[in-house]
């Protein structure tokens, strides 16, 4: 189970979003939970960021959603976002990832 999350930011918030994502990912890494992966990407448009979440199963997804790093990130996001994130369920077709 995977999600593609698109974030649209308010103008001038790209640096703040980059720092927030780095803090968020550091918090997730500290959990040492192998049931989920999160990767964040910036685009050529400084108001648009992409997140890719991969979950081993629904229980892993629930642990992610209940995690303190996710709560902190979510609770502090409204000042940066111009609209709520848009999440789309995606399915892996092929990858070079091991």
Q: Check which CATH number belongs to the domain holding 37 and give it.
A: 3.30.70.100
Overall average pLDDT of the 27-56 stretch: 96
Rg of the chain (C-alpha set)? 13
Which residues are within 8 A (CB) of 39 and not within 5 positions of it... i.e. 6 or more apart? Answer: 51, 52
Asked whether residue 96 is domain-assigned, the answer is: no
**C-alpha torsion sign, points 18, 88, 8, 50:** positive
Per-residue model confidence (pLDDT) at position 3: 96
Mean pLDDT to the nearest integer, 13-42: 96
The verdict on residue 15 lying in a domain is yes
Domain that holds residue 65: 2-90
pLDDT band per the 50, 70, 90 thresholds, residue 46? very high
Q: How many domains does the chain have?
A: 1
Q: How crowded is residue 21: how many other Cβ atoms within 10 Å of its Cβ?
A: 19
How long is the chain?
98
Whole-angstrom Cα distance, residue 60 to residue 79?
28
Asked if residue 97 belongs to a domain, the reply is no
- Confidence (pTM): 0.88
In the chain, % of residues over pLDDT 70 = 100
29 domain residue, yes or no: yes
């Amino acid at each position: 189970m995977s999600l593609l999350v698109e974030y649209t930011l308010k103008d001038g918030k790209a640096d703040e979003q980059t720092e927030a994502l780095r803090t968020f990912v550091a918090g997730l890494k500290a959990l040492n939970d192998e049931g989920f992966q999160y990767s964040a990407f910036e685009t050529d448009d400084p108001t648009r960021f992409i997140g890719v979440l991969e979950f081993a199963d629904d229980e892993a997804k629930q642990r992610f959603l209940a995690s303190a790093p996710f709560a902190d990130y979510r609770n502090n996001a409204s000042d940066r976002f111009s609209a709520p994130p848009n999440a789309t369920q995606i399915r892996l077709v092929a990858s070079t990832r091991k």
